[in-house]
Chain A
């Protein structure tokens, strides 16, 4: 007789906390990604991400929630970017290394949406999570960038920040000392779910997209339910070119990269 133990039930350490596929997922076609940075800009505009300026950028303190990596291979004249450009963001791991290290539980796992969360009001800025993230997808607010005086204008003795007009009211503006990362545009997920619910239906595939996927001129980024087999993202992820990064760490990433060729 074979005995199976549900590790989740007994709460064993190292148990795979959930079914492998999760809920929301993304596929990124590296064959199509042209490295144009439209996703990076769109993400910044949607999520109120602060720019840090040249000096802090040089220290590696940029706040990009999504960045485009490229790795050189070979030497001139047979040099190329290995595998093409690679957009990298929080992989929304099903079994995330960032989650267990937070001393104040500011990086919980969302059981409802199967995402890694960052609760800004809990975060005390230990940066353990960023240290433990194998994808280096987390960024820390080293300053109150948004309210740096040199970004504002003095108007009648008061400092005003015209750039603040652009802030998206659906996303918290983070202050200094807080960790942040890609949320899969959870505000858009909620909005779509809320709309669907008000109309008494389920969210349809392709009904909404995160800012990066929405902007991508090459349509390299696909977003949707990876637990629905007929969704576009499931089909693309399973078409044979899919690779998940650092999968051997058992992180269960929710982002599938499609290889070139």
Chain B
């Protein structure tokens, strides 16, 4: 594209090229450029020209969907859903489909390297795996246990169990699991609210499939929220699985997300008032049902809610009527409602609304997600507060060695947390990244793990279905590069170190460790299969892609607790001044948190704006007109802690006082398809937390500055006729 070729040269080149091509390919045995190399020894179950299918688990997010990968002669060709796995029942999302573009990404860490913090370049100083293991072993054994920290991805997988065993044995702090997704979902707030109201920590499960009125408070459950494939199935059932009953859906959110667009009614409100609206609805529903308002809703002033939230009295009343008349209404708290300074109270108010309509443990109601079969207790990912604490420890030099696996905090955490400085203050940083992401390139060593499709493992399902699910992984292809399973590295390193470490991990390899963790399931007869001993059990485990309870669990939660508590939601929505806006970052529905390096995910249009390959700022067209901003004008969004630049997309479905921006782009590294593309909205997020320690990210106040620059966004939609625009003119 960049080279300018004149017509004359072009003709010359084509002629010469055609002649050469004709000579090179047209004649002689050389034309048979295809060669075939048969296996020396054919792997079992492989037939020439026929595909082999392997069941494993998708690692693109923490939902734990089962997938079946079609392979051909040792290459992974296509990802298909595992129809047996209860979470996704044979379906996949776009990110799961594109996982092959991760596996065969041209930018992977191919060898263990001494990186020496030489970002943004991947170091070429290759080390042997023996040296790598020695390095890990030394880091584990020669450092004071309290000065070692482990940072991992959100998914509670076998590696997390292994590292937990390791830290338990040496008395090191427990590993932290974190990802931007868990931050934007405000998972800690959700589980804390469940603990407060239901008496038990855990992720609530919202059975929308059997509900007839769904009231969602910013829960983008059709995009990335908790377990999107499972919730999409629930949505579909809610709409069309019952004769003559089509579930009705109302969605409160400041901007129209992909999920909101599927609702029958999208009701925009000011960010931070979701809890208030829930309380007001509760009060109105109690009135309509002719019961005295329980304590939880007693104190709310409905008129005041109308004023602060921007939701009209008519809308509130109508939604309240819908709920009151419904047989199975359900209210769902989403990340945007919870990631506020009043997030915990909002979560409790929304859960209390469910208590009011008495749907706890009912079909079409709220239950507590069952624990995975080999889980002791619900273990939530770290909240932003805990990440902040870790960063403080790192900065003050209390962490000497940091191990990072499956997470990219330099990109995923807001810049204002100061993770970059914290990394700088940590003497040894060892990354196990598969891809050359920002954090990996800023570490001392990268000892690359296999890609998810090259690895063994299991992943505990945390929510999505009322069945207890353990999804299993197995390699579907041989490792492409000189990578090694991180679990194996730790096991080897522990053996080298000896003593307590070696005792903690007395396993020959990763597979033996996994077997030790699923061994207790052999005795269970209520699952997807039965096997007499561990080898047969492991074989079935791989064949089925995991183990799950064959029937759904039910729980008997009491609503009394929830309603007896007095709830007070303060309005988080501050007033905004001139040229001030509420800032709403949201996780890109197509990219998720780690999809930016997969080119086909980049090429997927955002469902609502149809923008591809870039970041946009969604702004109400009316607001844009007032500010004199056109489509594709680059604006600078400035907060008290930072600024970020992106092109404006005039989005007709966003509150005039708010701007929204997708999270997922803005990488400075992470391969050729991600680096230098788009902007990262977390750059303007300040480290402020709610009562549950989650980041209060939604509705922060920002200013908008014009930059005078233009950067056209590539969109799938036609620009013709949109807001009177003609053909796009080149300037």
* Chain A contacts to B: CB under 8 angstroms: 29, 31-32, 34-38, 40-42, 44-46, 51-58, 60, 62, 64, 67-70, 72, 75-77, 79-81, 84-85, 150-153, 161-169, 211, 214-220, 261
Contact = CB atoms under 8 A, between A and B. Distances in A.
B153 interface: no
B100 A36 contact: no
Which of B80, B95, B607 neighbours the largest number of chain A CB atoms within 10 Å of its CB?
B607
Interface string B69-83: 000100111111100
Contacts of A38: 91-94, 96-97
Interface in B688-720: 712-718
B91 A162 contact: no
B714 A55 contact: yes
Contacts of B76: 165-166
Given A51-B600, A70-B261, A162-B104, A32 B239 contact: yes
- Residue of B100, B480, B603 with most partner-chain A CB within 10 A: B603
A74 to B, nearest CB: 8
Contacts of B100: 45, 166
A45 B600 contact: yes
Nearest to B108: A162
A17 B639 CA distance: 64
A69 to B, nearest CB: 8
7 contacts: A32-B239, A34-B222, A37-B94, A37-B589, A41-B95, A57-B714, A76-B622
Interface centre among B1, B78, B654, B715 (most CB of A within 10 A): B78
Contacts of B713: 58
Contact of A218 (B106, B233, B268): B233
Contact of B77 (A76, A162, A169): A169
Contacts of A79: 256, 652-653
A32 B103 CA distance: 31
Nearest to B718: A60
Nearest to B76: A166
Interface string B594-608: 000001111111011
Most buried by A among B92, B229, B718: B92
A41 B652 contact: no
B544 to A, nearest CB: 19
A1 to B, nearest CB: 49
B106 A153 contact: yes
B614 interface: yes
Given A36-B222, A36-B607, A152 B262 contact: no
A217 B614 contact: no
A219 B614 contact: no
A52 B603 contact: yes
Contact of A80 (B108, B261, B656, B717): B261
B603 A57 contact: yes
B716 A217 contact: no
Contact of A168 (B78, B93, B653): B78
B607 A85 contact: yes
A72 B718 CA distance: 13
Contacts of A76: 268, 620-622, 652-654, 656
A55 B246 CA distance: 43
Interface string B648-666: 0000111010000000000
Contacts of B293: none
Contacts of B590: 37
A83 to B, nearest CB: 11
B424 interface: no
Contacts of A51: 599-600, 602-603
Contact of B712 (A31, A52, A58, A219): A58
Contacts of A163: 101, 104-106, 599
A84 B240 CA distance: 15
B335 interface: no
Given A85-B261, A163-B104, A169-B72, 13 more contacts: A31-B239, A38-B93, A41-B600, A42-B97, A44-B603, A57-B716, A76-B656, A79-B653, A81-B261, A162-B106, A166-B77, A215-B81, A215-B97
B258 interface: yes
A57 B78 contact: no
Contact of B97 (A45, A67, A218): A45
Interface string B316-344: 00000000000000000000000000000
B228 interface: yes
Given A76-B622, A168-B78, A217-B92, A34 B600 contact: no
Contacts of A69: 717
Contact of B605 (A42, A67, A214, A216): A67
Among the interface residues B229, B262, B599, which one has the most CB atoms of the partner chain A within 10 A?
Answer: B262
